[in-house]
Amino acid sequence: MKKNKTKYEQPSVFKKGFDSEYAFSLKKMGHFMKIIIETAKDNILLFATLIIVTILDAIVIVLLPLVSNQMVKTITEPEIMTYLFGLQMTWETWLYTLVGMLFAIFVLEWFTNFTTGMFSAKIEVMQRNKILISLVNQDVDFFFDNVSGNIFTRLVADTQGLSMGIQQFLLNIIWCGSAVVSSIVVMFANHQFLIGGILLAYLVVVILIAMIIFVFFRRTLILAYDMKREIDADMTDRINNISLIKASGLEEYEINRLFEKNDKYAHSIDRTIKWNSTLNLWINITTSFFSTLVIIISAIMYANNKPAVYQDLPLILLIVAQAVVAIIILVPTLRAATMASNASNRIAQLTEPVPFIVKSENPKTIEGIDSVEFRDISFAYPKKIDKVILPNLNITFEKGKSYAFVGETGSGKSTIARLLLRFYDPIKGQVIINDKFDLIDLDLPNYLSNVGYVEQEPQIFFGDFIENIKYVKFDATDEEVIEACKKAKLHDFILTLPEGYQTILGQRGFLLSGGQKQRLVIARVFLKNPDLIILDEATSALDNIVEKEIQAQLDELIRGKTSITIAHRLSTIKNVDEIIVLGGNGGGIVQRGSFEELKSTPGHFKKLYEAGLMK
């Protein structure tokens, strides 16, 4: 027997969920830097330009005081010769150089902001695309386990936060590093070894202590970020279920509950503000004091007959000011790095989980579905791998025949539909198509183009009737859509609406009743005209009158096709060719036969029938 290609091995992120204490500690900066490197590889020219112009911008700004100082010297001490790259300079040529540098700063500043903005925008778009690709390829269990609000905040808020954080981080870290190094080099180049050495040592101490304070600040900042996003996700979930809240009269309860959550967030923000204030205080006090320290050292040197420092004091103070500015920028730089790192970790929780359903490397295509066979199928859900739902199942679904599965809750009825749609793969056995192909070897979109699915809870997009019905067949004409709606007995209702087929249905088809939603889904299947139709408890949520109307359309829909019905009410499956009864607690198939045969044969089906269930 061919070995199943899918293994139910839980990735830890998927198993734990979004809000767990999953240990990202070793990966935090790794995710952040990995995203930068990946984007840089795809945009090498842009990234290289970003680095070059930012470094040049910092260097030119640091050199500006040096050029100004040289021009002043040429004016105040004309007997002193000044040179630039071996050329003797006058105060006029120094002035031209100064103007040229100011223009260069103007250009470099623009390109620095432009390139970092472009690079961060590409990161945002790339990560959004990466999340969307990952979400589309995820298994259905992923969406059962994770709140849609959480997914939405990661897709929108975290990609934007990552982009903004990286933009500030890259711009500041490159500029700060270049400015500090340039300042120290200029000091040493002007023989100010004492001031240069003190500046270097001073900056090391300031940055080291700032980093220690930042560790505590970062922890509170991440907690605040996470709490805010969780509140945002919770509010999104509540808004999506506003009808339930109003129908239950729980508006005041929800307001109080959210007030409590926001109070906790406010307390977390208070702790963040305290550490942020401490960090800012340290940076501002120490950087401000350094200029005073330089003046004191210059005075001492002058008093000891070493006037060199004192004479160049204006230049030294200006260069020190550039280094100080770079250190002051350190705080927002670290904050931006934290924001980007935290956002990247949360994004990774969407992009890292590996789907269970593995696509074939060389998928095969089919022209249609003539038969489907469950061959020695055993199935257990990934999160309960030890609890077998369907044991050793052997069934063949032939073309043109109708089948129905009945059984108590938990017997595995809906699991049959999920296996046929390949939401899951069996843990043992094969789903064989056309007596030839294993389902896991087929091109899934090609296979599903031959399958129609009518579910218990119809899935409807925010759009009009035409867009919703055409979703299963994009190349269909409007006339084909109208004909499908006529067959589904939906056309007359649509014509009563002011905008007809262009009527916007609202979120999740809010405009439609339960029966109308079912008719819309049936219209989709009529339009698609598939070989295999799966009806997963399609009328269980409807009242008896509407159910009979819908059942009439379903009977017309499945005529001449292979149909598989997951039954909730036995009255909906009286005319199927074969009923398959599943036992509870993983009992598998316990009975098979027609409706008339089973209702008079002692067994599980007869008990359901005589108990008055689902008649």
Q: Are residues 376 and 340 in the same domain?
A: no
224 versus 29: the higher-pLDDT residue is: 224
**Where in the sequence is the domain holding 124, given as residue range(s)?**
25-351
State whether 406 and 346 are in the same domain.
no
Highest mean pLDDT range out of 39-53, 295-309, 312-326, 546-560?
A: 39-53
Q: Nearest 5°: CA angle at 479, between 476 and 482?
A: 100
Give the pLDDT confidence score for residue 344 in this predicted structure: 81
- Position 544 scores a pLDDT of 64
> In 10 A of CB 71, how many CB atoms?
21
Residue 168: which CATH number?
1.20.1560.10
Residue 52 pLDDT > 90: yes
Quick check: is 407 in a domain?
yes
Stretch 375-379: mean pLDDT, rounded?
Answer: 89
From 59-68, 458-467, 542-551, 584-593, the region with the lowest mean pLDDT: 542-551
Please indicate, yes or no, whether residues 191 and 298 belong to a single structural domain of this protein: yes
Q: Looking at the structure, do residues 371 and 338 belong to the same domain, yes or no?
A: no
Mean pLDDT over 531-550 rounds to: 71
Q: Is 70 exceeded by the pLDDT of residue 95? A: yes
pLDDT given at position 14? 36
Q: How far is CA 346 from CA 29, 275, 603, in A?
A: 12, 23, 52
Tell me: the pLDDT tens digits for 385-407? 778 888 888 999 988 898 988 88
* Position 11 in a domain: no
Q: How many CA atoms lie within 13 A of 256 on its CB side?
A: 4
Residue 336 lies in a domain: yes
CATH number at residue 416: 3.40.50.300
CB 146 within 8 Å of CB 18: yes
In terms of domains, do 298 and 370 share one? no
Note whether 280 and 398 are same-domain residues: no
Residue 346 shares a structural domain with residue 404? no
Residue 304 has pLDDT above 70, yes or no: no
Residue 605: pLDDT band with limits 50, 70, 90: confident
| Mean pLDDT score, 173-178 | 85
Q: Which of 461, 295, 455, 436 shows the shortest CA–CA distance to 368?
A: 436
pTM of the model: 0.68
The mean pLDDT value for 464-472 works out to: 88
Beta-carbon count within 10 A of 517 CB: 21
Of 351, 385, 402, the domain-final residue = 351
Instruction: Pick 11 or 254 by higher pLDDT.
Output: 254
Q: What is residue 147's predicted lDDT score, i.e. its pLDDT?
A: 59
Whether residue 375 sits in one domain with residue 344: no
Percent of the chain surpassing pLDDT 70: 84
Is residue 357 domain-resident?
no
Last residue of a domain, one of 351, 381, 408: 351
- 545 part of a folded domain: no
Whether residue 422 sits in one domain with residue 399:
yes
DSSP secondary structure of 470-506? HTT-TT--HHHHHHHHHHTT-HHHHHTSTTGGG-B--
Q: Are residues 121 and 245 in the same domain?
A: yes
Based on the fold, state whether residues 239 and 266 are members of the same structural domain: yes
Task: Count how many domains the chain has.
Answer: 2
Examine the pLDDT at 152 and tell me if it is beyond 60. Answer: yes
Average pLDDT, the chain: 79
Residue with the bigger pLDDT between 500 and 184: it is 500
Last residue of a domain, one of 351, 384, 419: 351
In this predicted structure, the answer to whether residue 600 has a pLDDT above a threshold of 60 is yes
- Both 188 and 277 in one domain: the answer is yes
pLDDT of residue 472: 86
Predicted local distance difference test score (pLDDT) of residue 15: 38
